[in-house]
Amino acid sequence: MTLTFYKYQGTGNDFVIIDNRESILSKNNTKLFARLCDRKFGIGADGLMLLELPQNNEDDFTMVYFNADGNESSMCGNGGRCLVAFAAFLGVIRDRATFTAIDGKHHAEIKNGLVYLQMQDVLEIEKYDDHLFLDTGSPHHVTMVDGLSEYDVENVGRRIRNGAPYFEAGSNVNFVEKRNGSSFAVRTYERGVEDETLSCGTGVTAVALSMHATKLTDKEAVSVQTQGGELKVTFKKTENGYEDIFLIGPAEQVFKGEFSW
């Protein structure tokens, strides 16, 4: 059987995307998805997404996300932005979208070539001596470091991801350095890819909220420089936590192809 795939990237976080509105692929194709994401034996990507039919009248489509290891995982912020751009390319939406992902409903808008993706409210941030932990749709460990550009993200990230209290379920791990006022730089070790990626959208969101929660910025619009480009996060601090959170940045189709299996 032959299927068309599309490749998208959002600040260097790259994805294979398949239009699965006709339910050709089942979610249990773990080996196939891992092979398609493999950079030596497949197309190569940090993750794979299926765009599926909406599950209710309010939605335009459904997002199903798999990590590069082929397993379905929690929310992917850059993936969500790329899937909105893909939905616009297919003509499923114009410039506004409502869709459901594993963490619930999302609204999005494409404006001036950027995708604005609303993330889930964050009501709890755990603060520890040397890091913070929060869930922005995916779990994130956030820690400040000096000398980010030389930092051993791969090995330290892997140790934290696999160690206590995360163990097998794991966490994504973000290493952050302040640039100025409301601007930060981050490098992220992603679980499910089991390596550093050039950018992680839920990670960038976690960094922005963590920097506000620890008073490293008092702004509700934060710039985060990833290895693959700049993302912006805007939010409102309320008495309950953080609401109206938007992850903002580019999402680009890089090519189209066919695969057989």
Q: What angle separates helix 201-213 from helix 77-90, to the nearest 10 degrees? A: 130
Are the CB atoms for 122 and 132 separated by under 8 Å? no
The interface region with ligand LBFN2T5F, picked from 68-76, 123-131, 159-167, 179-187 by CB under 6 A, is 68-76
Q: Assess 191 for contact with ligand LBFN2T5F (CB under 6 A).
A: yes
Q: Which of 62, 172, 174, 217 binds ligand LBFN2T5F (CB under 6 A)?
A: 172
Which residue in the set 9, 20, 62, 78 belongs to the binding site for ligand LBFN2T5F (CB under 6 A)?
78
Show the binding pattern over residues 79-108: x = contacts ligand LBFN2T5F (CB under 6 A), - = does not. Answer: x-----------------------------
Which residue from 70, 157, 201, 250 is in contact with ligand LBFN2T5F, where contact means CB under 6 A? 201
- Which residues inside 27-56 make contact with ligand LBFN2T5F, applying CB under 6 A? 46
Instruction: Please state, in angstroms and rounded to a whole number, the distance separating the CA atoms of residues 110 and 17.
Output: 18
| CA separation, residue 174 to residues 103, 142, 151, 232, 250 (Å) | 20, 5, 12, 16, 21
**Terminal Cα distance for the chain, rounded:** 6
Q: How many secondary structure helices (H) and strands (E) does the chain include?
A: 4, 17
* Residue 70 binding ligand LBFN2T5F, by CB under 6 A: no
**202 near ligand LBFN2T5F, judged by CB under 6 A:** yes
Strands (E), 102-251: 104-111, 114-118, 125-127, 132-135, 139-144, 172-180, 183-190, 195-197, 221-226, 229-237, 242-249
Nearest C-alpha neighbor of 172 from the set 77, 43, 40, 44: 77
Asked if 67 is part of the footprint of ligand LBFN2T5F (rule: CB under 6 A), the reply reads yes
Binding residues for substrate: 13, 67, 77-78, 172, 190-191, 201-202
What's the closest the beta carbon of residue 196 comes to ligand LBFN2T5F, in angstroms?
11
Q: What tokens appear for 252 in the block?
A: 């680009």
Q: Are 229 and 250 in contact (CB under 8 A)?
A: yes
Q: How far, in Å, CA of 47 to CA of 33, rounded? A: 8
Q: Using CB under 6 A, count the residues that bind ligand LBFN2T5F.
A: 18
Binding mask 132-151 for ligand LBFN2T5F (x = CB under 6 A): ------x-------------
Active site residues: 76, 200
Under the rule (CB under 6 A), what is the footprint of ligand LBFN2T5F? 13, 46, 67, 73-74, 76-79, 138, 172, 190-193, 200-202
